[in-house]
Amino acid sequence: MSDTSSAKEEIKRAADIVQVIGQYVQLKKAGKNFMGLCPFHAEKAPSFTVSPDRQMFHCFGCKKGGDVFAFWMEYHGVTFPEALKDLAERYNITITETFSSGEEKERTRIRETLFNINEIAAQYFQEALGQSGGNPAVEYLKKRALPKEIISEFRLGYAPDAWDGLTNFLKNRRIDMKRAAEAGLIIPKKGGGYYDRFRGRVIFPIFNLRSQVIGFGGRVLNDALPKYLNTPETLLFHKGEFPYGLHASHKAIRERGVTVIVEGYMDLLALRKHGLQEVVATLGTALTHDHIRKIKGYAGEAIVVFDSDEAGRVAALRSLPLFLNEGLSARAVVLPHGHDPDSFVNKNGLSPFLALLEKGAPLFDFFLDQKLSGGGDSIEGKVTVLKEILPILAQLQNRAQRSLYAGRLSERIGIKEDVILSELKAAAKGLSEGGLQKDLKDRMAASSAKQRIGDVQLLNLLVHHPIAVSGLLDTDCTKLLTDATTSQIVKRIFENYRQGGRFSPERLEESLESEEVRIRLREALVADSIYSDHEVKQAVREIEEKVRQTKMTNLIKAAGGDPEALNRVLLELKAQEARNH
Ligand SMILES: [Zn+2]
């Protein structure tokens, strides 16, 4: 066994998949499995399934699935060797060397280099902040009254106002300058050489959920523009992917069941200074699907704090469809005029801020209020609001939720509920490009499911009752299968069994070539067993009988009109019946 596969085995034994995924997704027990909202696609009703028995996950919506490594890679956006390393570290398992494909190895190596360069740069910025002597960043942070503990926890730093500060520092450390440029820290000059991207700014390192530095944000210390500068898109940093501060806040968010979302670095740090831990920041970008998917893994509710200016209002209105689509309930809080969370909490303390959160209106009501107050109380205004909101509601798949909102809309706008519901229906129809076509699709899917029922039962029997594998090994039961995908899996089950003498779902999954086939297998593995233990023998007998019947039918067909051949078949049938009774 290679070192990787033994380490892999050991990690799988140590790292319970429910526990690992449960750190990022809220899971609820459902029968023998756990269910939650999928972190990989938009959904309001859980179809993301984690099976402790199989140590695997599968989403019936987007079909993503696999073992604990597959989850880690997909969720954190890392390569297999990185996932192996992360999990090994968490569970104190030593790996001496990792093996993987050349391409994956190369990607991992580059990512590691970039992480390393970011780490060195973060230390450089931190040290520069520590240097005394009229340091304007120190003055700035002093004015904002940030305590030392927070400055060091979030590793704030200072980029001196020079063109070659970090450039020279990295050069002296013999860092590959091309890679430092790829990390977004330095920029190539036209005539050769490099210069610093961040100059004369307070530096806020940005962390992923593994607390590694993926990028930096820098705020100016004078009136220069832009006020905020971020790392550009790199192999590690993607704008709008991680809410800032989640690496530090996720425990508190889970404990309180709510996430407070603010805009800026200083908003978040000021709130934490005053003791509010369950907070993340969007860093000037609008909220994204990615943000919300990450957040909803920790808490069922979000409170979004908006500035009272026009941009804040617009952001609040834009975020409604995102929250509705991701099934995360949200409330909106608008601060008094002229305030952001930083200034508000520093002036008034935490209690008045918490009181504002307490009073936050559901985002949907906030949306309506805002729209209607903007001159929307006229008939034309109401029609405009309806036109805007109906397509959003029509996207909601949850019927109960849809009619709930329709009711609220009716109350608020003063239009009869059945009018709204029928408008909603029309809007929904418009969305699905002709409802008829969709109906047809559903019916086709249902009929093909019926044809497959024999296949489904056989596969279910084999994966849940390994004893049936040995019972059916020497029959021609694969001939009963009508579906090519299932047939591939079943044939492979028998092949593996012949080679290894036992049934191993894991080896089976690895031996399947296409993702489509693997998806079918995962769905069978996480599904409930159709047969109870004492029904297995009977099921095996029934399948044997079916195989025999099919064989006979084929023989009779093959005999055609030849009376002699037909006679032989009938004799064989009789002999078999005699054997059976
Ligand atoms: Zn999914």
Top pLDDT among 544 and 578 is at 544
Q: Helix 310-326 crosses helix 363-373 at what angle (to 10 degrees)?
A: 140
In terms of pTM, does the model score above 0.75? Answer: no
Pairing type for strands 279-281 and 48-51 reads unpaired
H/E element, 332: strand 329-334
Rg (CA), the chain: 31
Tokens matching residue 532: 């109870």
Q: Give me ligand 1 centre to Cα 160, in Å.
A: 45
Q: Give me ligand 1 centre to Cα 20, in Å.
A: 17
Find the mean pLDDT for residues 208-235.
Answer: 92
Q: Give me ligand 1 centre to Cα 44, in Å.
A: 11
For 142-159, write each residue's pLDDT tens digit: 998 999 999 999 999 999
Amino acid found at 458: L
Asked if 47 contacts 60 with a C-beta cutoff of 8 angstroms, the reply is yes
Could you write out the DSSP letters of every residue in 343-407? HHHHHH-HHHHHHHHHTPEEHHHHHHHHHHHTTTTSHHHHHHHHHHHHHHHHT---HHHHHHHHH
- Model confidence band, residue 25 (pLDDT cutoffs 50, 70, 90): very high
Q: Give pLDDT, residue 497.
A: 86
Q: Give pLDDT, residue 3.
A: 54
Q: Give me ligand 1 centre to Cα 91, in Å.
A: 27
Does residue 313 surpass a pLDDT of 80? no
Does residue 260 surpass a pLDDT of 50? yes
Tokens matching residue 12: 């799988």
H/E element, 495: helix 484-500
Q: Which of 7-11, 205-209, 445-449, 531-535 has the highest mean pLDDT?
A: 205-209
Top pLDDT among 441 and 43 is at 43
Pairing type for strands 157-159 and 201-207 reads antiparallel
Q: Give pLDDT, residue 344.
A: 95
Amino acid found at 300: G
Q: Give pLDDT, residue 437.
A: 40
Q: Give me ligand 1 centre to Cα 524, in Å.
A: 17
Q: Give me ligand 1 centre to Cα 153, in Å.
A: 34
Q: What's the rounded Cα separation, in Å, for the pair 409 and 457?
A: 47
Q: What's the rounded Cα separation, in Å, for the pair 246 and 255?
A: 14
Does residue 316 surpass a pLDDT of 80? no
Find the mean pLDDT for residues 200-209.
Answer: 95
What single DSSP character describes residue 191?
Answer: T
- Environment class of residue 579 by beta-carbon count within 10 Å: exposed (0-12), middle (13-18) or buried (19+)? exposed
Does residue 378 surpass a pLDDT of 80? no
Q: Which of 30-34, 72-76, 203-207, 423-427 has the highest mean pLDDT?
A: 203-207
Report the alpha-carbon angle 167-170-175, nearest 5. 125
What CATH code is assigned to 246-366?
Answer: 3.40.1360.10
Q: Give pLDDT, residue 440.
A: 38
Of 319, 321, 313, nearest to 390 by C-alpha is: 321
Does residue 363 surpass a pLDDT of 70? yes
- Model confidence band, residue 446 (pLDDT cutoffs 50, 70, 90): very low
Backbone angles phi and psi of 96, in degrees to 5: -90, -35
Q: Give pLDDT, residue 271.
A: 97
Q: Please identify which residue in the block is written with the tokens 């599904």.
A: 527
- Model confidence band, residue 376 (pLDDT cutoffs 50, 70, 90): low
Q: Give pLDDT, residue 266.
A: 94
Backbone torsion region of residue 193, taken as left when φ is above 0, otherwise alpha when ψ lies between -120 and 50, otherwise beta: left
Asked if 199 contacts 162 with a C-beta cutoff of 8 angstroms, the reply is yes
Provide the greatest CA pair distance for the chain. 110
- Model confidence band, residue 433 (pLDDT cutoffs 50, 70, 90): very low
Pairing type for strands 258-262 and 279-281 reads parallel
Top pLDDT among 41 and 2 is at 41
- Reply yes or no on domain 104-230 having CATH 3.40.50.300: no
Q: What's the rounded Cα separation, in Å, for the pair 74 and 515?
A: 15
Q: What's the rounded Cα separation, in Å, for the pair 287 and 314?
A: 12
Tokens matching residue 396: 């909601």
Top pLDDT among 454 and 217 is at 217
Q: Give me ligand 1 centre to Cα 513, in Å.
A: 22
Q: Give pLDDT, residue 401.
A: 76
Q: Give pLDDT, residue 64.
A: 94
Q: What's the rounded Cα separation, in Å, for the pair 177 and 532?
A: 64
Q: Give me ligand 1 centre to Cα 35, in Å.
A: 11
Q: Give me ligand 1 centre to Cα 240, in Å.
A: 20
Top pLDDT among 419 and 183 is at 183
Q: Which residues contact 516 (CB under 8 A, 6 or more apart)?
A: 485
Does residue 542 surpass a pLDDT of 50? yes
H/E element, 207: strand 201-207
Of 100, 91, 74, 76, nearest to 5 by C-alpha is: 100
- Reply yes or no on domain 448-580 having CATH 1.10.3470: no
Lowest mean pLDDT among 103-107, 248-252, 335-339, 554-558: 554-558
Does residue 117 surpass a pLDDT of 90? yes
Q: Which of 27-31, 267-271, 336-340, 364-368 has the highest mean pLDDT?
A: 267-271
Q: Give me ligand 1 centre to Cα 161, in Å.
A: 46
Lowest mean pLDDT among 165-174, 392-401, 512-521: 392-401
Find the mean pLDDT for residues 270-274.
Answer: 97
Find the mean pLDDT for residues 364-370.
Answer: 85
Q: Give me ligand 1 centre to Cα 255, in Å.
A: 25
> What are the residues facing 205 on neighbouring strands?
216
Q: What's the rounded Cα separation, in Å, for the pair 446 and 157?
A: 60
CATH of 3-100, one of 3.30.420.40, 3.90.580.10, 3.90.1200.10, 2.40.160.40: 3.90.580.10
Q: Give pLDDT, residue 436.
A: 36
Tokens matching residue 383: 């029609």
- Model confidence band, residue 96 (pLDDT cutoffs 50, 70, 90): low
Q: Give me ligand 1 centre to Cα 525, in Å.
A: 17
3-state SS, one letter per residue, for 540-563: HHHHHHHHHHHHHHHHHHHHCCCH
Could you write out the DSSP letters of every residue in 496-544? HHHHHSS--HHHHHHH--SHHHHHHHHHHHHSPPSS-GGGHHHHHHHHH
Amino acid found at 26: Q
Q: Please identify which residue in the block is written with the tokens 């009073």.
A: 359
Backbone torsion region of residue 361, taken as left when φ is above 0, otherwise alpha when ψ lies between -120 and 50, otherwise beta: beta
Find the mean pLDDT for residues 48-69.
Answer: 93
Q: Which residues contact 396 (CB under 8 A, 6 or more apart)?
A: 44, 324, 325, 402, 405
Please state, rounded to an integer, the average pLDDT across all residues of the chain.
Answer: 85
Q: Give pLDDT, residue 221.
A: 92
Q: Give me ligand 1 centre to Cα 186, in Å.
A: 38
Asked if 68 contacts 87 with a C-beta cutoff of 8 angstroms, the reply is yes
Q: Give me ligand 1 centre to Cα 39, in Å.
A: 7
Of 86, 75, 59, nearest to 293 by C-alpha is: 75
Distance from the first to the final alpha carbon of the chain: 50
Q: Give me ligand 1 centre to Cα 509, in Å.
A: 19
- Environment class of residue 447 by beta-carbon count within 10 Å: exposed (0-12), middle (13-18) or buried (19+)? exposed
Asked if 82 contacts 212 with a C-beta cutoff of 8 angstroms, the reply is no
In order of 315, 545, 558, 561, 571, the CA distances from 555 in angstroms are 72, 15, 5, 12, 12
